[in-house]
Chains A and B, each alone.
Chain A
Amino acid sequence: MSDFQIKKSPTVYDAIVVGSGAGGGMAAYVLANAGQKVLMLEAGQYFDPRLDSHQLKWPWESPRRGAGTTRPFGDFDASYGGWELEGEPYTQKNKTEFEWFRSRMLGGRTNHWGRISLRMGPEDFKPTDGLTDDWPITYDDVKPFYDKVDRMIGIYGTVEGIASEPDGIFMKPPKPRLNELFIKKGAEKAGVRVITGRGAVMTESIKGNNDRAPCFYCGQCGRSCKVYGDFSASSCLVIPAVKTGNLTVITDAMVREVITDKDGTAKGVSYVNRKDLQEYQVNGKLVILGASACESARILLNSKSSAHPGGLANSSGVVGKYLHDSTGAGVSGFLPQLMDRKRYNEDGLGSVHIYSPWWLDNKKLNFPRGYHIEYGGGMGMPSYGFGGGVPKINGMVPDRNGNKKEAGGYGKSLKDDYRRFYGTGVSMAGRGTAIAREDNYCEIDPNMVDKYGIPVLRFNYKWAKEEILQAKHMQETFLSIMKEMGAVVTSEIHGPDTNYGLLNPGKIIHEVGTIRMGDDPKKSALNKYCQAHDCKNLFVVDAGPFVQQGDKNATWTILALSMRTAEYILAQKKKQNI
């Protein structure tokens, strides 16, 4: 007896949204609040920060003391997923080392992200470097949506008036920590501007929003927030949208493909339920993909039909191409001046208190575009790996009696060293613009399927000299800031053989660009409203539509563009165009 069947639901939703992260969450929120009947499919399981966050747990409450054995960012981190998922492989070609991070949960990767929320600037949308491509939209097109996202979700920061770093509507920022004051002084001596950070953490209450409470400064945004004090798509978008009564969420729904009619119009989505492994098909008047840049590209490329032989929305052949992650490199060390420092609670908030926006003129440099700098350090909660550097650095500075000490040791004197060095650490990391290139791409690997039988992605990605020279510049800058601060560098200094410390693509988890928007249907998959050129009732609301990412983290732009697309959908529906 065969029990194989595809379970088809008779309901036709106004829209089906695939993915519950920043993009999918925002689109579903806007549509559900406008009275549209929306169905959301999420590949992972249900997650509500109020119930599921590990916030305020102590290290001893984890048997591995917070080690990253089962989750890349540690046992308490709010991500069900990682760079490797059991049964969901991806492959590489031409010695590519792309690393693809996926979170399988309601809210996706927004449950654990760094909350650093930067707007792209006018020149990020219309570059002047002669190398990177124009967006079909300008900063002014997106600005009203950035403003609305600021008001709706909450962001702290300071008004600085920097053209390339547009100001938002800010809540009060956190005060700097002690090491951050050292950084400010040192960076200024090195010629690097340092300003107050900008992050999606509510430092004040939002009028009329009684579901969320302001930040109480535990510094643990990465674990997600039980009082919804920071932005996660789960807590701020999807769960509130469900409360309207207009949004239905199906979790553990791994989408196989978008189903189209004979005329090529999208009519629904097929998925496999991860729990019972049964096949389902649901119908909607619109399909909105927000599964993540690479996952949405994968769905489109797997949605082949006679009307869309090269995959859905792909008559241009660009789907999967122009994949780019931010560049990343870092340096770390310690501040001997801070040894034996006074103890107090300096958890602060869990996003950045300070950062350095890009500050140089490329005309004088040998690479295009630039990077911003994020800083770390301080008296954090101990976790697995604590004190690992102490038996090395205790040989670098004089002991209590002013004598040079032999590195290493044990016993009471080592125990004293652990105390002396606690809270002296300092680190900095660059996040820069990588060039969107046609020959950096993901495609369907014809030879492999995942455990659900869905063909998997294969990556082809190489850093070019622009990114490598940028990483070289990052490292030189960081070393000079460390020197000006009087810090001792303990991390490895990289040379050309290791690309000056440039991390593998995918490591920064800012991958974008695989379903690019554009005015020309021959060179882009989507129009400037993220609507498919080839399929009018198909939209993409994750980072797939990005033409060229600036050095700014992608989330705030995903939210603004998704809101813009959702409002466009409502306007087009009113005009009965879709």
Chain B
Amino acid sequence: MNRRDSIKALGLTALSTSVLVEACKQPETKTEVAATEETAKEAGKEQWEVDRDKKLKAETFFTKHEMATITVLADIIIPKDAVSGSASDAKVPEFIEFIVKDIPEHKVPMRGGLKWLDIYCFNKFEKPFVEASEREQLSIVDEIAYPNKARPEMQAGVAFFNKMRDLTASGFYTSEIGVKDIGYAGNAPNQWAGVPDDVLKQYGMQNVKI
């Protein structure tokens, strides 16, 4: 029983709490226990935000199999190349696990989409998506990755892949690897002196004045 529960159990009001705490000050060890149970105040956050994040992080939504499928798909969408690592290098699957809990509208389309993918793959190749060969996996992705040319009966797969692709891009380009890859050069104190001269020249903008 934590401090809050014990107060409730004693039938005391919030007003009396501070008096009670002052009066019943216990040896060091006990206050330490109470402190760890309460989430510390974070600068610039409301308490309900801190509590909510903590709760979401403690929950697990996707199964191991679903996470394995998400990892394969994320790396198909954003693979390692000469510039940077893959989606899984940037911990995109972990981001997706968090964001579906944070934005619950993602939950059903993601879980259902993963299931759709496995069933489609099973009907075609008699195995779930993660167990299919790379060639088999890509043959399915090719059917759902191009919304304008996908066959009408593939719409459910297209909708799922659109979401999966967007979440992968969100997770990747907001990671340290992704920010470096995209070349975002800001977020540091500086003196903004305007567009560099070579860039002005490149676009013929030297003479444009506001």
Contact = CB atoms under 8 A, between A and B. Distances in A.
Interface of A: 3, 45, 47, 51-54, 56, 58-60, 63-67, 69-70, 78, 80, 86, 174-178, 180-182, 184-185, 194-196, 216-219, 276-278, 337, 341-349, 353-354, 379-388, 390-391, 395, 406-412, 414-415, 418-419, 422
B79 A418 contact: no
B38 interface: no
DSSP majority for the A interface?
A: loop
Contacts, number: 200
Interface stretch (B111-119, B121-129, B193-201): B193-201
Closest 4 CB pairs of A and B: A175-B194, A343-B183, A387-B169, A59-B174
B179 interface: yes
A382 B186 contact: no
A395 B148 contact: yes
A53 B190 contact: no
Contacts of A58: 176, 179, 187
Contacts of A219: 186
A382 B90 CA distance: 14
A415 B78 contact: yes
B93 to A, nearest CB: 14
B16 to A, nearest CB: 8
Interface string B178-192: 110111111111111
15 contacts: A58-B179, A181-B208, A182-B203, A185-B208, A195-B210, A218-B186, A347-B187, A349-B192, A387-B166, A390-B169, A406-B149, A408-B165, A410-B165, A415-B81, A419-B181
A347 B203 contact: no
Interface string B137-172: 000010001111100000000000010011001110
B1 interface: no
A410 B166 CA distance: 11
Given A385-B170, A411-B77, A422 B179 contact: no
Contact of A386 (B46, B170, B203, B208): B170
Given A56-B187, A344-B196, A381-B184, A63 B79 contact: no
Contacts of A342: 196, 198-199, 202
A84 B193 CA distance: 40
A381 B182 CA distance: 10
B59 to A, nearest CB: 12
A196 B187 contact: no
B146 A382 contact: no
B196 A386 contact: no
B202 to A, nearest CB: 7
Contact of A415 (B15, B56, B79, B147): B79
Contacts of B27: none
Nearest to B175: A60
Contacts of A54: 44
Contacts of A60: 174-176, 179
A322 B75 CA distance: 56
Interface string B37-59: 00000011010110011001100
A165 to B, nearest CB: 15
Contact of A276 (B15, B147, B183): B15
Nearest to A412: B81
Contacts of B60: none
B20 interface: no
B205 interface: yes
B45 to A, nearest CB: 8
A45 B15 CA distance: 19
A345 B186 contact: yes
Interface string B1-43: 0000000000001110000000000000000000000000001
Contacts of A86: 48
B130 interface: no
A52 B183 CA distance: 28
A182 B204 CA distance: 10
A80 B50 CA distance: 13
B67 interface: no
B103 interface: yes
Nearest to B178: A382
A485 to B, nearest CB: 12
Contacts of A345: 185-186, 188, 190, 192
Contacts of B76: 410-411
B186 A379 contact: yes
Contacts of B102: 63-64, 67, 69
B95 interface: yes
Given A63-B98, A216-B189, A390-B169, A419 B195 contact: no
B14 A277 contact: yes
Given A3-B15, A347-B187, A67 B192 contact: no
B99 interface: yes
B44 A52 contact: yes
B174 A384 contact: yes
B205 A178 contact: yes
A481 to B, nearest CB: 15
Contacts of B190: 216-217, 345, 347
A345 B162 CA distance: 31
Q: Which of B81, B173, B185, B191 has the most CB of A within 10 A?
A: B173
B108 to A, nearest CB: 17
A561 B14 CA distance: 42
A52 B182 CA distance: 29
Nearest to B46: A80
Contacts of A178: 195, 199, 203, 205
Contacts of A346: 185-186, 192, 195
A65 B189 contact: no
B14 A276 contact: yes
A220 to B, nearest CB: 8
Contacts of B191: 216-217
B179 A382 contact: yes
B170 A410 contact: no
A53 B171 CA distance: 23
Given A386-B169, A386-B173, A194 B145 contact: no
Given A216-B189, A349-B192, A391 B14 contact: no
Given A60-B176, A388-B169, A412 B186 contact: no
A36 B179 CA distance: 51
B146 A406 contact: yes
A245 to B, nearest CB: 26
B192 A70 contact: no
B166 to A, nearest CB: 5
A410 B145 contact: yes
Nearest to A174: B192
A185 B204 CA distance: 11
Contact of A388 (B145, B166, B184): B166
